Amino acid sequence: DTAVSQTPKYLVTQMGNDKSIKCEQNLGHDTMYWYKQDSKKFLKIMFSYNNKELIINETVPNRFSPKSPDKAHLNLHINSLELGDSAVYFCASSQASGRSDEQYFGPGTRLTVT
């Protein structure tokens, strides 16, 4: 069974469109995250939720909106896509607070905005 899954794996879209990426974890973890990895492999946290409550909200354009319907799911919706949004987006989860817990990562969603 896949521990952390993301859909879709690849997403190609045009500027100005709205898209969503879905994430699900079956590990029973309380905390979930969204990370953005740019073309230089730099990994930056975007959001973190603990038991459906937003606990980390980094300096991210408000075009990005996370939604956690339950603690097993954390989706990422992006409005008015821009070229600079092209990246690989990783979902991750951990048992509790991320600073001390191992994080389990999904396989990533490669977003290409044309």
Partner 1 sequence: AQSVTQPDIHITVSEGASLELRCNYSYGATPYLFWYVQSPGQGLQLLLKYFSGDTLVQGIKGFEAEFKRSQSSFNLRKPSVHWSDAAEYFCAVGAKTSYDKVIFGPGTSLSVIP
CA-CA distances (angstroms) from residue 14 to 64, 84, 101?
Answer: 16, 12, 37
Instruction: Give the interface segment with partner 1, choosing from 16-24, 59-67, 78-86, 93-101 (CB under 8 A).
Output: 93-101
14 near partner 1, judged by CB under 8 A: no
Q: Give the bridge partners for 50, in sequence order.
A: 31, 53
Residue nearer to partner 1 on the CB measure, 14 or 41: 41
Site for partner 1 in 54-83 (CB under 8 A): 55-56
* CB of 80 vs partner 1, minimal distance in Å: 27
**Which one of residues 1, 14, 40, 69 is an interface residue with partner 1 (CB under 8 A)?**
40
**Which one of residues 36, 90, 93, 113 is an interface residue with partner 1 (CB under 8 A)?**
90
51 near partner 1, judged by CB under 8 A: no
Residue in this structure with the two tokens 């979902």, named with its chain if needed:
91
* CB of 16 vs partner 1, minimal distance in Å: 28
For the chain, report the end-to-end CA distance as a whole number of angstroms. 34
107 near partner 1, judged by CB under 8 A: yes
